[in-house]
A and B are shown apart, each in its own frame.
Chain A
Amino acid sequence: MPKLYDYVLSGSCYKVRLLAALLGVKYATQTVDFYPGREHKSPQMLALNPLGQLPVFEDDGLLLRDAQAILCHLANRYDPTGNWLPRDQRFGQVMMWLGFAGGELMAISAARMVLMLGYPGDVETLRAKGRMAMRVIEDHLADRQLAGAIWTVGDTPTIADIALFPYVMLSHDAGIGHEDYPAINLWQRRVRRLPGFVGMPGIPDYF
């Protein structure tokens, strides 16, 4: 059975939990004491991921780090429809949004760590970057909605939506509300209605 090295409050680990739930993939969980224990920097965890980051995913001898890479793996191996990771002209766009989700959008994660857990960092700068990232997503989704579409890429949900969803939704922990992002609000309600959807602390099912 695949195994996820998991931290319950991590939006990146949640990307993996969410896609696994949507695809019906069963996996074992090993809870890592990320905070306050910093277990992800322990020798045992560094042996699994020299970057000292979560999530880490083991599957049939494969050892993977990076939430976006793990999403690709799950879709590649467990989605017979091929829609979550399309191999046609949509592929490049999905990859583009995966890079953005693991890059620019992570400013929200960093701001959240400062504000919520007291990590060092300049919260104003991080929040400004986070707002810019939210604006890029909002503009893209607004254009898509004007064209009659809803998902980030194509006519079906893809791993691009799953990679973007957690930190967009956790932005309140970074002090960024959703009042200014109507297209995001429309989109996030569609994500929540996907069969098999699961939430996480801070992304409740009841909204």
Chain B
Amino acid sequence: MSLTKDKAAIDQWYVLGATQDFPIGQTVATWLLGGDVTVTRQADGFEVTGEGRRLPIRTHYNHLWTSFGTPARDVFALPEAEEPDRRWLYCGGVRVAASGLRLIENFLDLAHFPYVHTDILGSEEKPEVAKYDVEQRRDVDEIWATKCEFLQPKAAAASEGGQISQYMYRVVSPFNVMLYKTPPTAPNRWDVIALFVQPVDETHAIAHPFMLVIDPSSTDAEIIAFQQMIFLQDKIVLENQRPVQLPLQPGRETPTRADLSSVLYRRWLKEKALTFGTEPRTDQVSDFA
């Protein structure tokens, strides 16, 4: 394995885990974009090395971030992290044998709820995805999907019964996404469920789910278990998707109306000329022969 040469992928911030995942005084070997990375945590902070040099570090939202390149922006803003009554829950890294981009795209998808998360996030009697809005916010370079609604038998750990959940999705970089969702206990606010993806190589990724939720009743264990249950239901599907890498070539997969957010996400990746984790294209022939 060696570090990718894809500049669009290199010039981004990537999560390596929650800061609590790294014990003080220890050195942990991990991977990023095909390259080896070493994390050492001392009492006074972190050192991250890769490709024989020290890499830049951020610790936003109690996660460790690094980059092999020169990101155009700092780690994205997450205003909800300032709200004092939210519970911060680190759900633990889970390794998945799939392209990290597939993880993000699956996270954006509403249509699979009734079939993969049956009787939890969706019900087979009500599989319809209602019309929702998508937009590319060029000022912050983010993808948003808004006005999403879904009938959910058990929307969260604290649910007592079914509800119509309102959703918003926010893709802040090619490998980082979050959703905003109405909590069962506070219908006027939004729970934040983030999926930070550490791309190991083109076909492997580590998912680091992170939650900023309003839930006064459930235990940490119950909220984490709920999130892990959902993610492991997705994992078997993700690992069986073919091609393993996300196809960006027109005609390789046929989207439907419910896939609008995926369509925009893929278009955005193409606009960035990102190729890491995507299926090699065969339709871009050279102008000269």
Question: Chain A: residues with CB nearer than 8 A to chain B?
Answer: 7-9, 31-33, 35-37, 39, 115-118, 172-173, 175, 201-202, 204-206
If over half of A's interface residues share one DSSP class (helix, strand or loop), that class is named, otherwise mixed; here it is: loop
B239 contacts the other chain (CB 8 A):
yes
Docked-complex contact B220 and A172, CB < 8 angstroms: no
Docked-complex contact A37 and B220, CB < 8 angstroms: yes
Chain A residues positioned under 8 Å from B206 (CB to CB)? 118
Name 19 interchain pairs, CB-CB below 8 A, sorted by A. Answer: A7-B225, A8-B229, A31-B221, A31-B225, A32-B221, A33-B219, A36-B21, A36-B90, A36-B91, A36-B93, A36-B224, A117-B92, A117-B94, A117-B95, A118-B95, A118-B206, A201-B233, A204-B233, A206-B115
List B216-236 residues whose CB lies under 8 Å from chain A.
Answer: 219-222, 224-225, 228-233, 235-236
B116 contacts the other chain (CB 8 A):
yes
Docked-complex contact B221 and A39, CB < 8 angstroms: yes
Most buried by A among B21, B95, B230: B95
Assembly CA distance A17 to B255 (angstroms): 38
Task: Give, as a whole number of angstroms, the nearest-CB distance from A82 to chain B.
Answer: 33
Task: Give, as a whole number of angstroms, the nearest-CB distance from B81 to chain A.
Answer: 20
Count residues on chain B whose CB falls below 8 Å from chain A CBs: 29
Docked-complex contact B236 and A8, CB < 8 angstroms: no
B27 contacts the other chain (CB 8 A):
no
Assembly CA distance A173 to B220 (angstroms): 25
Closest chain A residue to B20 by CB distance? A36
Docked-complex contact B229 and A9, CB < 8 angstroms: yes
Assembly CA distance A39 to B232 (angstroms): 20
Closest chain A residue to B21 by CB distance? A36
Mark interface residues in B73-102 (1 if CB within 8 Å of A CB, else 0).
Answer: 000000000000000001111110100000
Chain A residues positioned under 8 Å from B20 (CB to CB)? 36
Contact of B222 among A31, A35, A173, A205 (CB under 8 A): A31
